[in-house]
């Protein structure tokens, strides 16, 4: 994850500053505040600001003037109750802001989560860096035969070499053409004074989706958990899942009690339909049951059997 000297200096200056405040802070999150957490080959996630903690969730739920109770077990029990019964508003009282560097195709998938405030790097105003994502060989896979939006067997040998070569060659050529069309260097000066460059807003359209962009992404705790429940899931695309996993680690530092409840009831839990619940009750009673008799669709039956470890 290369950072230029200017970026390193800005981060060092930000981490070197401190302020006296009456607002609650979280020491474990303060440890990594502003620090880039590496993701993929050139990407990162870093926390730049936050508001609230586990106690703020409890305070909002009780609409109290203090900060939680004297017994951590009571606060933990309340947070578990809120998570278990899907009470959302107390979690909306906490907010966090990330600075994320990510491939454009990941950003276009990420932006579908509309419950956040986003400000993205503008290629109309600035020149994009010559940084593009190349998958590791272990991530080069064929199209899944059973999942239209998934991966199948990993490519090997000459096929993998050919794909990596194409991705690298096309990206390098795209950026070279982009730079030629712009006709300006990093300082915004003409590379060739004899000709005019194409407008930045037009030159950018030739770049491929694996080039990196950056944005600030601010959301509340409830909507962050909704994002993580989908994108940190094992079925999510690898390139967005690794970002979600880094943010899941941030969640654990920030609100450890909420994190544990989230992992238990959301990430590790399973929601049953009325028919599925009835089927489980019949199984517990020892009555024979198959997919047709359950009234479930074939797909829901397979999912239920997988969740119960009875494939």
Report the chain (311 residues): mean pLDDT per 10 consecutive residues.
76 85 92 96 96 95 72 89 94 97 97 94 91 94 75 87 95 96 83 88 95 97 97 94 98 98 94 93 92 92 91 73
End-to-end alpha carbon distance in the chain: 41
Closest residue by Cα to residue 55 from 66, 45, 40: 66
Give catalytic status of residue 310 as yes or no.
no
What is the pLDDT, as a whole number, of residue 15? 85
DSSP string, 144-166: PSS-TTSEEEEP-HHHHHHHHHH
Nearest to 116 by CA among 14, 221, 206: 221
Check 200, 231, 241, 266 and give the catalytic one: 231
In terms of phi and psi (left: phi > 0; alpha: psi -120 to 50; beta: otherwise), the region of 52 is left
| pLDDT (0 to 100) of residue 1 | 47
User: Tokens 């880094």 correspond to what residue?
Assistant: 246
Distance, CA of 226 to chain centre: 10
Question: Which single residue is written with the structure tokens 């990941």?
Answer: 106
pTM for this one?
A: 0.91
86 sits in the region (left: phi over 0; alpha: psi -120 to 50; else beta) called left
- Distance separating alpha carbons of residues 304 and 241, to the nearest angstrom: 24
* Token digits of residue 257: 């009690």
DSSP secondary structure of 1-33: ----HHHHHHHHHHHH-----SS---HHHHTTT
| CA nearest neighbour of 43 among 98, 5, 124, 6 | 98
SS (H, E, C) 186-202: CCCCECCCCCCCCCHHH
Q: Which two tokens mark 136?
A: 């590791």
DSSP element (H, E) containing 44:
strand 43-51
Check if the beta carbon of residue 218 is closer than 8 Å to that of residue 93: no
> What's the CA gap between 168 and 170, in Å, rounded?
6
Q: Which two tokens stand for residue 188?
A: 């915004």
DSSP string computed for 48-101: EEEE--HHHHHHHHHT-SSSS-S-HHHHHHHHHHHHHTT--GGGGG-EEEEEEE
Which one is the CATH code of 5-133+210-267: 3.40.50.920, 3.30.1360.170, 3.30.1370.60, 1.10.10.10?
3.30.1360.170
| Residue-range domain boundaries for the chain | 5-133+210-267, 274-307
Question: Do 55 and 96 touch, CB atoms closer than 8 A?
Answer: no
d(CA 98, CA 215): 8
Q: How far apart are CA 276 and CA 301, in angstroms?
A: 8
- Quote the Cα angle for 109-241-97, to 5°: 75
């Amino acid at each position: 994850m290369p950072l230029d000297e200017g970026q390193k200096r800005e981060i060092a200056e930000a981490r070197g500053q401190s302020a006296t405040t009456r607002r609650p802070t979280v020491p474990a999150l303060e440890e990594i505040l502003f620090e880039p957490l590496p993701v993929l080959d050139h990407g990162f996630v870093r926390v730049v600001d936050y508001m609230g903690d586990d106690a703020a969730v409890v305070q909002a739920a009780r609409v109290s003037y203090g900060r939680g109770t004297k017994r951590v077990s009571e606060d933990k029990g309340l947070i578990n109750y809120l998570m278990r019964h899907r009470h959302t508003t107390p979690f909306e009282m906490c907010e966090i802001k990330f600075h994320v560097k990510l491939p454009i195709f990941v950003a276009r998938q990420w932006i579908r989560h509309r419950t956040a405030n986003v400000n993205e790097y503008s290629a109309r105003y600035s020149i994009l860096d010559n940084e593009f994502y190349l998958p590791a060989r272990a991530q080069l896979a064929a199209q899944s035969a059973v999942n239209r939006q998934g991966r199948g067997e990993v490519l090997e040998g000459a096929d993998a070499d050919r794909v990596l070569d194409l991705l690298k060659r096309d990206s390098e050529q795209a950026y070279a053409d982009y730079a030629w069309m712009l006709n300006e260097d990093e300082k915004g000066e003409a590379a060739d004074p004899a000709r005019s460059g194409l407008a930045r807003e037009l030159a950018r359209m030739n770049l491929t989706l694996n080039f990196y962009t950056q944005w600030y992404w601010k959301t509340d705790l409830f909507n962050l958990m909704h994002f993580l429940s989908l994108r940190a899931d094992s079925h999510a695309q690898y390139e967005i899942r690794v970002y979600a996993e880094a943010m899941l680690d941030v969640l654990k530092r920030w609100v450890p009690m909420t994190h544990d409840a989230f992992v238990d009831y959301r990430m590790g839990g399973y929601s049953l339909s009325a028919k599925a619940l009835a089927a489980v009750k019949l199984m517990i009673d020892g009555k024979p049951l198959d997919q047709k008799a359950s009234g479930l669709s074939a797909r829901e039956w397979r999912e239920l059997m997988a969740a119960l470890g009875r494939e």
